[in-house]
Amino acid sequence: MEDYSAEGPTLTPVDLRTLCLSVLKENDRGNHTSPAKLYPHQWLWDSCFVAIGLRHEDPQRAALEVANLVHGQWANGMMPHMIFSKGREYRLEREAWRSWLSPFAPDKLSTSGITQPPVLADAVVKVGAKMNATDRREFYHYMYDPLVAYHTWLYAERDPHKEGLTLQIHPNEVGMDNTPPWVQQLYEHSRPWWIAMIEKLHLDPFINFIRRDTRRVNPGQRISNMEALLLWDVVRRLRRKHYDIDKILHRTLFATEDVMFNSILIRNNTQLHNIASFLKYKLPAELVANMKHTEEAIKELYDTGTKQYYSRDFITHKLIKEPSIGALMPLYAGSISKERAAELVGLLKDHKQFWLHHPVPSVPLSSKYFDAERYWQGPTWVNTNWLIIDGLERYGYKVEAADLRARTIAMVTSAGPYEYFSPIDGKGLGAENFSWTAALTIDLLAQ
């Protein structure tokens, strides 16, 4: 691989697009694109982002990327966050989740037992927009029932008290595995005695057996061994309950109404509406009512004291006031008032928090968790930038959107399509040749 670490932009936009396309080609597995060499398998929101970029080059292949997710969909409507590749070498990963314990899991495939942020409808709309009317109709029609089933499941299973906000049961469901609000929850509510003991006796360096990522990537750029153990333990608990939400919630230690997940849901509800009106189909009335409710309920995640949105603890109903990039995601939702959006733009442009040299860091500089290189505790990610840019555009902040777009492209140009980047010096971190970085860069270049 070439060295992209040199200072300053070294590639023209055309070169950058070619490079990004070659990354997608390298990670192409026929009917899906894996996130990187480090991650085999198909991942839910990764594939949505891949399709959003790939549509500029090959709309049919982009459509296949998201259509393939339907094979993994559970009979109850859930879209799992991972569809495992076949092959003996992945046996342990399939075993870790054992999706076959749930009566709803597909027969012919192994998947995880949780979902990921629902960006699927947005991806479907955007891919369809690149097709002629006949192909678009056919594609939307193919995706319509799975999408309705997915959004219906989100409300039926994940909003049991009809609060308008869906709950998440594992940090991986929000796609930001070690984001501080979740880490705080795990430490507070979900630490079995033996994990506490490992921590007390400082045995965590020996836990490498559950890690594959740190063999390829500098451990200082990944989640810590303690965090990995806690995440693994949550999987174990969910698996033990066969992914039955009633059993899980009956005695759960924690569940969170995540601000980023619910913001993404709001935007994707709107996109599902758009698909339905293109097809002249009528969405189920109950789903429409639930969708409206979420737009209202997101207001409850706003804290007037700090003028910020936070995730909420489903059980105590208290806001989890640990800052993260999630606070900015109501911009992408598109349902908050212009006044609130203006406050969020102010927060985004604050040099002491989010507007660093290479914005937007996954936690603000002022957070006690901030570490420029550690996964979702500081680094800048292209997918969250993309979500913010999309929101800024729709709220009419064209200048801010263009600025963030240019900075994101410049960062990828000089470092290469890495998984994430230091918000301080723009250094590429994590996996190299990362699919959603490549795909979303293609999309940003095309805007």
* Catalytic residue list: 177, 419
Q: Which two tokens stand for residue 176?
A: 């930001």
Give 309's strand partners: 302
Q: How far is the CB of 48 from ligand GLC (least distance, A)?
A: 10
State which residue, 34 or 294, has the beta carbon closest to ligand GLC.
34
Q: Where are the beta strands (DSSP E) in 393-434?
A: 420-421, 428-429
Nearest Cα to 254, choosing from 312, 314, 184, 320? 314
Q: How far is the CB of 382 from ligand GLC (least distance, A)?
A: 12
3-state secondary structure of 436: helix
The residues with which 111 forms a beta bridge, in sequence order, are 83
DSSP readout, 359-372? --BSS-TTSTT--T
Helix (H) or strand (E) holding 385: helix 382-394
> Counting beta carbons within 10 angstroms of the beta carbon of residue 201, is it exposed (0 to 12), middle (13 to 18) or buried (19 or more)?
exposed
Distance CA 376, CA 368 (A): 13
Q: How far is the CB of 41 from ligand GLC (least distance, A)?
A: 8
Cβ closest to ligand GLC, residue 45 vs residue 302: 45
Nearer to ligand GLC, 47 or 271 (CB): 47
Q: How far is the CB of 44 from ligand GLC (least distance, A)?
A: 7
Q: Which two tokens stand for residue 197?
A: 């003991």
Nearer to ligand GLC, 93 or 163 (CB): 93
The residue ranges that bind ligand GLC (CB under 6 A) are 35, 39, 43, 45-46, 175-177
Question: Rounded to 5 degrees, what are φ and ψ at 275?
Answer: -65, -45
Q: Which is nearer to ligand GLC, 362 or 408 (CB)?
A: 362
Which of residues 45 and 153 has its CB atom nearest to ligand GLC in the complex? 45
Class of residue 351 by CB neighbours under 10 A (exposed 0-12, middle 13-18, buried 19+): exposed
Min CB(168)–ligand GLC separation in Å: 13
Question: Which CB atom, from 223 or from 276, has the smaller least distance to ligand GLC?
Answer: 223
| Beta pairing partners, 320 | 311
Compute φ and ψ for 309, nearest 5 degrees: -95, 145
Supply the minimum distance, in Å, between the C-beta of residue 323 and ligand GLC.
18
Angle between helices 120-128 and 44-54 (to 10 degrees): 20
Task: Indicate the residue among 384 and 413 with the shorter CB distance to ligand GLC.
Answer: 384
State the nearest-atom distance from the C-beta of 11 to ligand GLC, in Å.
24
Of residues 236, 214, 162, the one with CA closest to residue 375: 214
CA distances to 332, 341, 405, 434 from 395, in Å: 9, 7, 15, 29
**Token couple for 384:** 């969250």
Q: Shortest gap between Cβ of 314 and ligand GLC (angstroms)?
A: 21
Q: Do the bridges between strand 82-83 and strand 42-43 make them parallel or antiparallel, or are there none, so unpaired?
A: antiparallel
Tokens of 263: 């913001």
- Closer residue to ligand GLC (CB): 163 or 213: 213
Helix (H) or strand (E) holding 43: strand 42-43
Task: Give the residue ranges of DSSP H helices in 298-337.
Answer: 330-333
Question: Which DSSP string corresponds to 214-259?
Answer: HHHS-GGGS--HHHHHHHHHHHHHHHHTTT-HHHHHHT-S--EE-H
| CA–CA separation, 421 and 375 (whole Å) | 9
- Least distance (Å) from ligand GLC to the CB of residue 73? 17
